[in-house]
Amino acid sequence: MDYVFDFASVFRNFGPLWEGLWVTIQLTVAANIVGLTLGFILALLVMSKWAVIRLPVMLFIEFFRCTPAIIQIVWFFYCVPMLFDVFLGSAAMGIMALGLNLAAFNAEAYRASIQAVPREQLDAGIALGLNPLQRIAYIVLPAAVRNSIPVLLTNGIGTFQQSALVAIVAVQDLMYQGKTLATQTYRPIETFTIVALIYFAVSFPVSQIVGYLERRREMQAS
């Protein structure tokens, strides 16, 4: 192979990659806020005893879990303005799609954690005179979040990685900036290698935290 690697040409133009990384982090944080909040609400609704509430929520969760994230992003970007006459920026559409996708996966994590809350704790809340909302706020929510933290962090990493898909709708995230820089410098191998390493450098420490929390929980359970 006669190809001569030249990473210096990428590092000399590293500014756009930093800007793209900042956009990616903002997208990830915003999507996680939506996913963590809405996911818990969906988990409560999908456990409702009323089918008229439970079935639509279940359909919503399965739709976002069983369709590709890239289709969801494209659908929101192109179809929402046409169907609902709502025009938002590409970044807002990306956050909406990523947030709803994450909410569907987080809902399942929350649901499993909620079902693991001992019945005795709920009975104690009733004995103390707590109403349903107070029992959710003071008993169910803390236990559900605590038990599902490893899964929620793993889902958060996945959203950080999936955020690269918003580049197809012209959101100037890390992937978009990397693609632009590769075109400008004619160095796709070097550029996308560095982009991949940036994604790895952010994701790997979080994955280690997830592993630590899971090992700690197993030790406490034993």
How would you class 172 by CB atoms within 10 Å of its CB: exposed for 0-12, middle for 13-18, buried for 19 or more?
middle
Average pLDDT over residues 160-189: 94
The amino acid at 189: I
Digit-coded pLDDT (tens) for 158-173: 999 999 999 999 899 9
| Closest by Cα among 207, 169, 15 to 93 | 169
How do residues 39-48 score in pLDDT, each as one tens digit?
999 999 999 9
Q: CA–CA separation, 163 vs 25, rounded Å?
A: 9
DSSP alpha helix (H) spans, the chain: 8-11, 15-46, 51-66, 69-84, 90-115, 119-127, 132-135, 141-162, 174-185, 188-221
More confident residue, 170 or 194: 194
- Cα separation, 101 vs 36, whole angstroms: 11
15-221 topology per CATH: MetI-like fold (1.10.3720)
pTM attached to this predicted model: 0.90
Q: Is the pLDDT of residue 57 over 90?
A: yes
What pLDDT was estimated at residue 199?
97
Q: Are 26 and 34 a contacting pair, CB within 8 Å?
A: no
Q: For the residues 83-112, what does the mean pLDDT come to? A: 92
Contact call for residues 103 and 64 (beta carbons, < 8 A): yes
Least confident stretch, 36-50, 126-140, 172-186: 126-140
- Long-range residue pairs from 58-64, CB within 8 A, at least 24 positions apart, any chain: 60/104, 61/104, 61/107, 61/108, 62/104, 63/104, 64/100, 64/101, 64/103, 64/104, 64/105
* 137: DSSP letter: I
